[in-house]
Amino acid sequence: MECVFGMVGKGFALVVADTSAVNSILVHKSNEDKIMVLDSHKLMGASGEAGDRAQFTEYVQKNVSLYQFRNGIPLTTKAAANFMRGELATALRKNPYMVNIVLAGYDKETGPSLYFIDYIATLHKVDKAAFGYGSYFSLAMMDRHYRPDMTVDEAIHLADQCIEEIRSRLVVAPQNFVIKIVDKDGAREHSWRRTTKD
């Protein structure tokens, strides 16, 4: 019942993810951070098999760092997205990674961007994206209320509406959510939405 969604606003991009780590009917923990900070200006929200998620996201992050040391400049968001898609595609017919990713980034030249990358290596550049059962509700809410060039407050309000919808309509809704934002000042955690303390 993992929920990850994101959207692009005016000069920033937002990624929201639930923070539950679940095995069958047991909740291991409800403060698992699934949005990895790839580098100073990139966020990667990942959902799916926990082991694959950790393995793949850490691998991508280290390769992004390596690129930066080798070339003296960071990867663009588009390049990082395509690198990820390539890795997923290569592994797909042998040993697929069961991870779905929402990649948000800010580049000085092109501004904020959001990429939808699913486990069978689909890559789409989008304004809003969502994965999991929660996507039925968050995508519908975003389709109804999303406008291009929203302010941070408006986007957070929309994210809250999505979380509210997920909480009320999804049969086993996650307890807590984390919101992370990336803009010209970098990628950072914005806030949490908790119903339980961990």
Binding site residues, another protein, CB under 8 A = 58-59, 62-63, 65-66, 69-70, 72
Find the length of the chain.
198
Residue 57 beta carbon to another protein: minimum distance, rounded to whole angstroms: 11
Residue 60 beta carbon to another protein: minimum distance, rounded to whole angstroms: 10
Q: State how far the Cα of 144 lies from the Cα of 3, in Å rounded to an integer.
A: 19
Q: Which is nearer to another protein, 72 or 148 (CB)?
A: 72
Q: Residues of 69-87 as b/e, b for ≥16 C-beta within 10 angstroms?
A: eeeeebbbbbebbeebbeb
Q: Which is nearer to another protein, 33 or 164 (CB)?
A: 33
Q: Which is nearer to another protein, 62 or 169 (CB)?
A: 62
Residue 55 beta carbon to another protein: minimum distance, rounded to whole angstroms: 9
Residue 72 beta carbon to another protein: minimum distance, rounded to whole angstroms: 8
11 alpha carbon, distance to own chain's centre? 17
- Nearest 5°: the CA angle 172, 104, 13 is 90
